[in-house]
């Protein structure tokens, strides 16, 4: 039924669910990479290696998320162009953005491979952790192109009207990653190197197979065509997607600050506990991100076509969905705090207790998390990268940094776990302000 739903349609709650289900599932599969790696590393290699992977992961995510920036910003521009009825220009824009991802991915791969050791030390790696950081990071960085392409096509498969193909590619990548993790770590005992190879093989499936699909004749709304460089178009797409890049870079930078604070207040156990909290957050965030990736091209299309009533409908329905989902996630996270902690760190009683407690406090952030994620993505879809970036920048880098740095002075270790909820509360005020302030410009209210 999903295949019959077009970007130009009026979306009921049922149609939104059906249309976004593949992208939500796609993002859930993507989030499984790090989670499965973490499970096998923690249980089969040890908590020092587990801490090392969690320490280097924010840097790896920063590089990969350049593909997310190009994908979200570019798909908003391409979706708007399709809504304006100019499919040939949309094809050229799409092709340009794919080329940009390939070139930028190659540059970032070289930088990551060459400088991974000093970067690991800069992030706070101890002598016991450094070799695991370098081995895992170097293998992952060597395949940054595949990681970026995977993020890119997650957005463009929706714009192309083929979200189910994006889901199929990501599912294949996720299953391969899980099987290879078990084989390389539990059977072959390759340690962190095995986890890295399992991940990059999965990323190659998720990034290179979609590239081959678009290189061949296909019946999607997007084609790879001959094009010429238009710096203004590339700049516009990147600026429009800069909020997503800013959000991911800021999240990674804040994760580094979390690690520094946790080393100070709880030592290596603190980083391991935070790793489990992040895995839970990745699962729940994947649902919100999948929804925004799914609805973004729809919003862009209706904006380009001047369908103001549809924009109003999408905004109202999405806010209801985000609030309802976030509330459900709060209760689910608190219910699963003990079982999830036991899966990852049940072998260490002290670490288990710390992790379960951290999850039960962190869970309150999910109520507001989805609304703020959608607010930023909504303005990206409207091709207003500046407002989207402002929401992301304040939400992640400013509010979270202040909370992570300041709250532990008042609440000790618990202040670190409460920081995200406090930051999301302040971000909600900013999101509400921009939605109300821009309502006359875009006519969605």
- Residue 151, in any domain of the structure: yes
Q: What is the pLDDT of residues 270-307, one digit of tens each?
A: 888 888 888 888 888 889 988 998 898 889 989 988 99
Quick one: which of 258, 222, 243, 248 has its CA closest to 123?
A: 258
- Residue 399, in any domain of the structure: yes
Phi-psi region of 127 (alpha: psi -120 to 50; beta: other; left: phi over 0): alpha
Q: What is the pLDDT of residues 222-281, one digit of tens each?
A: 999 988 888 888 888 888 877 777 777 777 788 888 888 988 898 878 888 888 888 888
The predicted pLDDT at position 3 comes to 45
The predicted pLDDT at position 338 comes to 93
pLDDT band at 416 (very low <50, low <70, confident <90, very high): very high
Do 313 and 10 meet the contact criterion of CB atoms below 8 Å apart?
A: yes
Of residues 392 and 135, the one with the higher pLDDT is 135
Of residues 340 and 248, the one with the higher pLDDT is 340
pLDDT band at 397 (very low <50, low <70, confident <90, very high): confident
Which residue is listed with tokens 């989902």? 325
What percent of the chain has a predicted confidence (pLDDT) above 70? 98
The predicted pLDDT at position 185 comes to 95
pLDDT band at 439 (very low <50, low <70, confident <90, very high): very high
- Residue 68, in any domain of the structure: yes
- The torsion of the CA quartet 111, 112, 115, 118, rounded to 10 degrees, works out to 140
The predicted pLDDT at position 4 comes to 57
The predicted pLDDT at position 430 comes to 97
- Residue 3, in any domain of the structure: no
Please provide the DSSP assignment of 43-100 as one string.
Answer: III-HHHHHHHHHHHHHHHHHHHHHHHHHHHHHHHHHHHHHTT-HHHHHHHHHHHHHH
Total number of domains in the chain: 1
Q: How many CB atoms lie within 10 A of CB 11?
A: 22
- Residue 282, in any domain of the structure: yes
Whole-angstrom distance, CA of residue 371 vs CA of residue 302: 21
Domain that holds residue 137: 8-442
pLDDT band at 33 (very low <50, low <70, confident <90, very high): low
Residues 6+ positions from 173 with CB-CB distance below 8 Å = 29, 30, 150, 202, 203, 204, 205, 206
Six-digit token pair at 400? 């979270």
Average pLDDT over every residue of 80-88: 90
- Residue 2, in any domain of the structure: no
Q: What angle, rounded to 10 degrees, do the helices at 47-83 and 191-215 form? A: 10
> Mean pLDDT, the chain, as a whole number?
90
The predicted pLDDT at position 2 comes to 42
- Residue 1, in any domain of the structure: no
- Residue 408, in any domain of the structure: yes
pLDDT band at 138 (very low <50, low <70, confident <90, very high): very high
Average pLDDT over every residue of 69-98: 91
């Amino acid at each position: 039924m999903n295949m019959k739903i077009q970007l130009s349609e009026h979306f009921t709650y049922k149609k939104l669910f059906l249309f976004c289900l593949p992208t939500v599932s796609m993002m859930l599969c993507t989030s499984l990479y790090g989670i499965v790696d973490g499970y096998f590393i923690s249980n089969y290699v040890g908590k020092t290696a587990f801490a090392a992977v969690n320490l280097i992961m924010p840097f790896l995510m920063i590089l990969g998320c350049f593909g997310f920036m190009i994908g979200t910003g570019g798909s908003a521009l391409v979706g708007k162009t399709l809504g304006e009825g100019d499919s040939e220009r949309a094809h050229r824009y799409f092709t340009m953005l794919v080329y940009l991802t390939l070139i930028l991915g190659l540059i970032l791969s070289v930088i990551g491979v060459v400088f991974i050791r000093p970067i690991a030390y800069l992030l706070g790696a101890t002598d016991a952790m450094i070799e695991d950081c370098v081995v895992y990071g170097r293998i992952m960085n060597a395949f940054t192109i595949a990681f970026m392409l995977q993020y890119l096509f997650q957005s463009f498969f929706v714009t192309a009207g083929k979200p189910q193909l994006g889901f199929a590619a990501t599912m294949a990548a996720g299953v391969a990653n899980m099987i290879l993790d078990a084989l390389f770590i539990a059977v072959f005992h390759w340690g962190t190197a095995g986890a890295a190879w399992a991940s990059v093989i999965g990323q190659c499936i998720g990034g290179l197979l979609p590239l081959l699909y678009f290189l061949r004749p296909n019946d999607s709304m997007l084609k790879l065509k001959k094009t010429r460089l238009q710096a203004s178009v590339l700049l516009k797409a990147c600026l429009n997607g800069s909020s997503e890049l800013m959000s991911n870079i800021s999240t990674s930078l804040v994760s580094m600050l979390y690690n520094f604070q946790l080393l100070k207040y709880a030592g290596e156990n603190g980083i391991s506990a935070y790793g489990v909290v992040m895995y839970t957050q990745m699962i729940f965030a994947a649902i919100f991100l999948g929804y925004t990736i799914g609805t973004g091209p729809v919003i862009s299309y209706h904006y380009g076509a001047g369908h103001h009533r549809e924009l109003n409908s999408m905004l109202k329905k999405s806010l209801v969905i985000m609030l309802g989902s976030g509330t459900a996630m709060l209760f689910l996270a608190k219910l699963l705090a003990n079982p999830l902690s036991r899966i990852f760190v049940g072998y260490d009683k002290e670490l288990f207790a710390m992790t379960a407690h951290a999850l039960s406090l962190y869970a309150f952030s999910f109520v507001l998390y989805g609304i703020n994620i959608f607010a930023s993505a909504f303005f990206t879809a409207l091709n207003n990268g500046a407002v989207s970036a402002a929401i992301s920048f304040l939400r992640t880098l400013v509010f979270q940094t202040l909370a992570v740095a300041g709250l532990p002075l008042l609440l000790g270790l618990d202040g670190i776990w409460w920081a995200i909820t406090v930051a999301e509360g302040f971000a909600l005020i900013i999101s509400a302000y921009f939605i109300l302030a821009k309502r006359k410009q875009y006519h969605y209210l």
